[in-house]
């Protein structure tokens, strides 16, 4: 017994075809939206690609771009089929390939759902990419004279000012690395010698942060050097004083920004998936309503449209049986090839 049967006359079939045709072209715009979101996300990632540990972060925008392009192609084709369904002579050329096309659409819809879920779960590996990328970027902050790294200081400073953050996890991360280039250190000065000598790796470490960590909203002039030395500043206690540098780490800030983008894209892709499912169901009804005409030569005769030719259980059983048959056929072919190889 067919599932969700609907009776159609000529007027209802025409209205159905026109509605689904309109929905298909709306779905083309939705495909362009997915493509645009992928391009936007890719551009946003490229702006700070130096602060990310690998290129795997571009996997998601690449998938979105591909899905958007495929959606545009599928929906344009579906719209053409619905338009031609009003003319029996034109629709006849599409009829043989419609079942294959509908199966492809179902697979595409499943991929869209997977893409939406990917948008939500990519936040987890993305935070590790950011953590490692920021850690390496901070190490190269001082290398303003090194080819290939001279841009890192500018990138980090702009990022810290834009996102109002400091360091990887917090501002104290800058205390653990040398972020001032040797070019600007006076090695004859006692303080420089003492700091370098007291460090195992021979680095110039200090309890200070770059200027880009300063909070311009603070009423007090920025204290970015000797931040833990109370005697170096008037009326200052770093244990109780409200520091005038950004307290939030840049990993958290960037993760919040990119995570928000991914969540928004994921929600929009789910909405696009709902539209794609709707047009696929609509095309199925267009196809079945034309295939079940009481009198194929009379377009005004009544017909029935349905979602599935059998019940869900029967359909699932048939699919499993076909898959098993395909699997057995593949094993038989492998056995035949092995037998031929043995004889030769």
Residue ranges of alpha helices (H) inside 52-184 are 59-84, 88-91, 98-121, 123-139, 152-163
Rounded to the nearest integer, the mean pLDDT of the chain is 85
Residue found by looking up tokens 């290398």 in the block: 143
Contacts of 298 (CB under 8 A, 6+ apart): none
Q: Give the pLDDT of residue 254.
A: 94
pLDDT > 90? residue 12? no
- Residue 165 banded pLDDT, cuts 50, 70, 90: very high
- Residue 66 banded pLDDT, cuts 50, 70, 90: very high
Mean pLDDT score, 183-193: 84
Q: Give the pLDDT of residue 324.
A: 72
Helix (H, G, I), strand (E, B) or coil at 169: coil
Q: Give the pLDDT of residue 173.
A: 94
pLDDT > 60? residue 153? yes
Residue found by looking up tokens 């709902």 in the block: 274
Instruction: Please answer whether residues 65 and 28 qualify as being in contact, where contact means their C-beta atoms are separated by less than 8 angstroms.
Output: no
pLDDT > 80? residue 185? yes
Q: What angle do CA 287, 289, 294 make, to 5 degrees?
A: 130
Mean pLDDT score, 164-183: 92
Domain boundaries, the chain: 1-136+251-295, 170-246
Q: Give the pLDDT of residue 232.
A: 83
Residue found by looking up tokens 């109370």 in the block: 230
Contacts of 283 (CB under 8 A, 6+ apart): 20, 78, 81, 82, 98, 102, 105
């Amino acid at each position: 017994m067919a599932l969700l049967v609907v009776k159609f006359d000529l007027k209802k079939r025409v209205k159905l075809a026109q509605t689904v045709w309109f929905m298909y072209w709306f779905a083309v715009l939705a495909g362009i939206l997915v493509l645009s979101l992928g391009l936007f996300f890719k551009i946003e990632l490229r702006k700070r690609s130096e602060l990310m540990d690998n290129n795997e972060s571009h996997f998601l925008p690449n998938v979105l771009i591909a899905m958007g392009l495929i959606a545009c192609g599928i929906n344009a084709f579906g719209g053409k089929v619905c338009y031609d369904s009003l003319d029996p002579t034109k629709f006849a050329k599409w009829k043989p390939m419609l079942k294959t096309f509908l199966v492809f659409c179902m697979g595409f819809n499943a991929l869209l759902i997977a893409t939406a879920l990917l948008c939500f779960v990519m936040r987890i590996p993305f935070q590790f990419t950011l953590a490692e990328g920021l850690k390496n970027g901070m190490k190269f902050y001082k290398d303003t004279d090194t080819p290939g790294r001279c841009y890192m200081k500018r990138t980090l400073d702009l990022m810290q000012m834009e996102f109002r953050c400091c360091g990887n996890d917090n501002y104290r991360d800058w205390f653990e690395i040398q972020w001032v280039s040797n070019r600007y250190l006076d090695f004859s000065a006692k303080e420089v010698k003492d700091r370098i000598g007291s460090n195992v790796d021979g680095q110039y470490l200090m309890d200070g942060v770059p200027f880009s960590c300063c909070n311009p909203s603070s009423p007090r002039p920025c204290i970015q050097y000797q931040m833990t030395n109370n005697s170096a500043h008037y009326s200052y206690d770093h244990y109780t004083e409200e520091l005038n540098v950004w307290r939030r780490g840049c990993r958290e800030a960037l993760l919040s920004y990119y995570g928000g983008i991914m969540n928004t894209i994921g929600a929009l892709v789910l909405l696009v998936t709902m539209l794609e499912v709707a047009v696929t169901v609509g095309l199925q009804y267009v196809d079945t309503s034309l295939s079940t005409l009481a009198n194929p030569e009379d377009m005004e005769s009544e017909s029935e449209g349905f979602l599935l030719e059998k019940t869900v259980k029967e359909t699932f059983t048939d699919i499993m049986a076909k898959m098993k048959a395909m699997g057995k056929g593949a094993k038989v072919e492998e056995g035949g090839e092995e037998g031929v190889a043995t004889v030769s």
